[in-house]
Amino acid sequence: MPEATDDRSYRVVRNDEEQYSLVLADRPLPKGWRPAGFEGDRTACLAHIGATWTDLRPVSLRRRLATTA
């Protein structure tokens, strides 16, 4: 579906590695993902992810690097 005509509602989700994605709000969450506290249209959800997910490295890598630094 072209983004310009996509009027569906999405949910921002996050996994244990603190990676973000979005799923349709009326669908069950994929295994290993939990709500990140934001719902809206696709554009708003992607903007929220862009503002929130500023370090794209998985949390396990960030922790490993922090202990070796």
Ordered domains of the chain (ranges, CATH)? 3-68 (3.90.820.10)
Q: Give me the half-sphere count of Cα atoms (radius 13 Å) on the Cβ side of residue 59.
A: 8
Q: Which residues partner with 23 through β-bridges? A: 11
pLDDT tens profile 9-68: 999 999 999 999 999 999 999 999 999 999 999 999 999 999 999 999 999 999 999 998
Record the pTM.
0.82
- pLDDT of 17 reads 96
4 confidence band (pLDDT: 50, 70, 90): low
d(Cα 56, Cα 5) in Å, to the nearest integer? 29
